[in-house]
Structures are given as C-alpha cells and as structure tokens.
Amino acid sequence: MSILDSIMIGISGALAIFPGLSRISLMTMAVSIRGGDRKNGIIWVLALSVPAMIVLIIMDIYLAITQGVTFYFSQFLHYLIAMLAAFGGVCIAVR
C-alpha cells in the first residue's frame, strides 16, 4: 500500500463520525476502491482499530478517575478481554 492508499483509508475511517456509517465498512470499501484485496483489507483495517480501542479504554479510565468514580482493575480486564475477543472473533471469521 502506498501513502496515498493510507491517507484514503484514514479519511474514509474519519467519515464514520457521521451517524449510520460504519468505520470498518467504509475503510474496507476504500481498500477495494484503491485496488486492494478485500480479505487483506479487512485484516489491515482491524489491525488499525486496536490502537483506537486502547486509547478509548485509557480515556474511559481517565474520565472515571477524574470524575471520582471508583474504578477497579477487574473492570479494565473486562474491557481488555472484550476487545481481544471481538478482534479475534472477526479475524477468525475473515479467514
């Protein structure tokens, strides 16, 4: 993939801020439009979602702590397990 491909995929993912648009489907469509293989595109898009999920988990923890909500380590583990299970399930389904 070229730099232009990466920019196009990133922009398509950013369009998901609008209601009703799926980030994964938009990014997969961008991969297909740019001539990429759909299966590899889905795996690439899912790999890009891991850092976003990690940042969202960290932000949730930060907001909970700053707002005085009691936060337990087990809640963090639930977030992490759910994220990994979803990612793994989709990777298995794609293959």
Please tell me the predicted confidence (pLDDT) of residue 61: 78
Three-state secondary structure along 36-81?
CCHHHHHHHHHHHHHHHHHHHHHHHHHHHHHCCCCCCHHHHHHHHH
Q: Could you tell me the mean pLDDT of each successive run of 10 residues in the chain, 95 residues long?
A: 82 86 85 82 79 82 82 78 82 73
- Whether the predicted model's global pTM rises above the 0.85 cut: no
